[in-house]
Chains A and B, each alone.
Chain A
Amino acid sequence: MPQPASVPVEEGVIDVLKNVSRRPIEPALASDLVADLGFDSLQVLEVIAELEDRFDISIPLNDVPTTRTVGQVVAQVASLVAARPNA
Chain B
Amino acid sequence: MVTPRTLPEALDDAAESDSGFSFQSGTAETSVSYEEIRRRSLQVARALKDAGLRRGDLAALVLPDGEQFLTALFGASIARLLPASVYPPATAADLPRYIELTAGILNAAEARAVVTTRTLAAAFADARAMCPHLSLVLCREDLDAAPDEPNDAPSPGDIAFVQYTSGSTSMPKGVALTHANLAANIDAFAGPSGVAVDADDVAVSWLPLNHDMGLVGMVLGALYTRRSCVLLTPQTFVKRPAEWLRAVTRHRGTISFAPSFAYDLCVRRVKDLAGLDLSSWRVAGCGAEPVHPAALAAFAEKFAPVGFRSTSFLPCYGLAEHVLAATFPPRDRGVRIECVAANELADRRVAVDADDSGGPSTALVSCGSVLPGHQLVVADEHGTALPERHVGEIRLAGPSVMVGYYKQGALTDEVIRDGWLRTGDLGYLSRGELFVCGRVRDLIIVHGRKYHPQDLEWAVDDVSGVRRGRVVAFGVESDGADRVVIVAEAGGTVASGLLVEEIRKRIGDLFGLYVDEVAVVPSGTVGRTTSGKVQRAATKERYVRGEWSVEGTRA
A interface residues (Cβ-Cβ under 8 A, vs B): 22-23, 32, 34-36, 38-43, 45-46, 48-49, 58, 61-66, 68
Contact = CB atoms under 8 A, between A and B. Distances in A.
Interface residues of B, number: 33
Contact of A34 (B65, B265, B514): B514
B91 A66 contact: yes
Contact of A46 (B64, B269, B504, B505): B269
Interface stretch (B34-42, B232-240, B300-308, B392-400): B232-240
Contacts of A36: 501
Contacts, number: 71
Contacts of A38: 514, 552, 554
A34 B269 contact: no
A80 B64 CA distance: 25
Residue among B117, B265, B514, B552 with most chain A CB within 10 A? B514
A64 B88 contact: yes
A32 to B, nearest CB: 6
Contact of B119 (A22, A43, A63): A63
A35 B239 contact: no
A23 B119 contact: no
Contact of A61 (B92, B235, B512): B235
Given A34-B505, A38-B514, A66-B91, A22 B555 contact: yes
B23 to A, nearest CB: 14
Contacts of B65: 63
Most chain-A Cβ atoms within 10 A of its Cβ — which of B64, B235, B505, B513? Answer: B235
B149 to A, nearest CB: 33
A35 B501 contact: yes
B92 A41 contact: no
Contacts of A65: 91-92
A43 B348 CA distance: 39
A46 B238 contact: yes
A34 B501 CA distance: 9
A86 B102 CA distance: 46
B91 A32 contact: no
Nearest to A25: B554
Please give me the 9 A-B residue pairs with the lowest Cβ-Cβ distance, nearest first. A34-B508, A40-B514, A41-B512, A64-B92, A63-B64, A23-B555, A45-B239, A35-B504, A35-B505
A27 to B, nearest CB: 15
A43 B93 CA distance: 18
Interface of B: 26, 64-65, 88-93, 117, 119-120, 235, 238-240, 265, 269, 446-447, 500-502, 504-505, 508-509, 512-514, 552, 554-555
23 contacts: A34-B508, A34-B514, A35-B500, A35-B502, A35-B504, A38-B552, A39-B514, A40-B512, A41-B513, A41-B514, A42-B447, A43-B514, A45-B238, A46-B239, A46-B269, A48-B239, A49-B240, A58-B26, A61-B26, A63-B117, A64-B91, A66-B92, A68-B93
A45 B90 CA distance: 13
Contacts of A35: 500-502, 504-505, 508
A39 B513 CA distance: 9
Given A38-B554, A58-B26, A64-B88, 12 more contacts: A23-B555, A34-B504, A35-B501, A39-B514, A45-B238, A46-B269, A49-B239, A63-B119, A64-B91, A65-B91, A66-B92, A68-B91
Given A38-B554, A42-B238, A46-B269, A64 B89 contact: yes
Contacts of A46: 238-239, 269
Contacts of A23: 554-555
Contacts of B93: 66, 68
B18 to A, nearest CB: 31
A63 B501 contact: no
A22 B90 contact: no
Contacts of A32: 501, 505
B239 A64 contact: no
Given A34-B505, A38-B514, A63 B239 contact: no
Contacts of B514: 34, 38-41, 43
A54 to B, nearest CB: 14
Contacts of A61: 26, 235, 239
Nearest to B268: A46
A42 B240 CA distance: 11
B554 A22 contact: yes
Contacts of A48: 239
Nearest to A60: B26
Nearest to B25: A61
Contacts of B508: 34-35, 40-41
Q: Name the residue among B90, B239, B240, B502 with the largest chain A CB count within 10 angstroms.
A: B239
Contacts of A43: 514
